[in-house]
Amino acid sequence: MEATEPKTLKDAILYFSKPENCLSYLVARRPEWAKGVVCPICGSATVGFLKNQLRWQCSVRHPKRQFSVKVGTIFEDSPLGLDKWLPCVWLLTNCKNGISSYEIGRDLGVTQKTAWFMLHRIRLAHQGKDGGKLGGSGNGVEIDETFIGQKARNMHASVRARKITGTGGKDKTVVLGMVERGGKVRAMVVGTRKKRELQKHVRENIEVGSAIFSDELKSYDGLQADYQHAVINHAIEYANGNVHTNTMENFWSLLKRGLHGTYVSVEPFHLFRYLDEQAFRYNNRKDMTDADRFDLAVRQIVGKRLTYAELTGNVGETETIN
């Protein structure tokens, strides 16, 4: 009798403890293998399965004839077994406030450094296609920006004097967010809150003619030429009928709860990965079970790879495997 695919974390740990289950689960979710396993090097469909090694061998003679299910995914070249990888994917995908590398390290029996690398590779899988511009539903799009960085009140006086060199968000990272009411959210790191940069992202991500809602930041002035732009003055009120940015504020609350409560300290260099993680969970929160979200995350592991050198900034940007 075949084992039932997991529905809970407990099920996942038991199910993926068997290498055969890991293999069958991943093979069924690789889009390029929908009609059967093919060689990732030459594309040949004539491959033989080596049962004792749980890998395949291509019938065409060329380097790297033998390949595993990890090839061409975020798991490639990892010495860790899928019995550790897949429960880790489950945890990060379904924990609302994220999960720290220290906790993953203790739970899976790996070092904190290894767990940190694993989590960033999974965040790469959480990066999905944007799927067109926001605003098509007619429900309106909220736009807001926030500052991410250390809180001055939590710093020692000597550290505060060194790191806090101005007021407001001078020493923090600016993040811009857009959320379609009843739909998806998008969040991105931006260089400044200046008009040119913010409006560039708005026009790239929101359909012209859509209803948009923002606060009174002067950088949004001029958008009314292309959009139905309504403004809420937060110095007076937080909502005026349907004019508000409360949905976006709710997303910021979730994001900062994870950044400050779970991850504690996030370098600006890596911040976009944490935005991708939180946006993935937010965008797939409705009408999806933990198993459904995990299934979706696994389907997005193909064609992506992140090396430790790339993660730590020693080489160029993340490569996509063809």
Please report where in the chains the tokens 């539903």 appear, as a residue. Answer: 137
* pLDDT one-digit tens code per residue, 32-65: 999 999 999 999 999 999 999 999 999 999 999 9
Q: Sorting pLDDT into bands at 50, 70 and 90, what band is 314? A: confident
Flag whether pLDDT at 150 surpasses 90: no
Q: Sorting pLDDT into bands at 50, 70 and 90, what band is 321? A: very low
Q: Sorting pLDDT into bands at 50, 70 and 90, what band is 154? A: low
Say if 15 falls within a structural domain: yes
Flag whether pLDDT at 318 surpasses 70: no
Strands 47-50 and 55-58: antiparallel
The mean predicted confidence, pLDDT, of the chain is: 91
- What is the average pLDDT across 209-234? 96
* 111 and 156 within one domain: no
* 170 and 115 within one domain: no
Say if 257 falls within a structural domain: yes
When divided into structural domains, the chain yields a total of 2
* 167 and 86 within one domain: no
Distance of CA 250 to the CA centre of its chain: 18
Q: What is the rounded distance in angstroms from the CA atom of residue 5 to the CA atom of residue 1?
A: 12
Tokens coding 61: 């003679």
Say if 288 falls within a structural domain: no
10 Å CB burial of residue 195 (0-12, 13-18, 19+) is middle
Q: What is the pLDDT of residue 158?
A: 57
Q: Which of 50-64, 122-136, 202-216, 289-303 has the lowest mean pLDDT?
A: 122-136
Flag whether pLDDT at 319 surpasses 50: no
Q: Sorting pLDDT into bands at 50, 70 and 90, what band is 313? A: confident
Q: Which of 10-24, 131-145, 239-253 has the lowest mean pLDDT?
A: 131-145
Q: Which domain holds residue 251?
A: 141-266
Which has more confidence, 316 or 108? 108
Q: What is the pLDDT of residue 53?
A: 93
Say if 319 falls within a structural domain: no
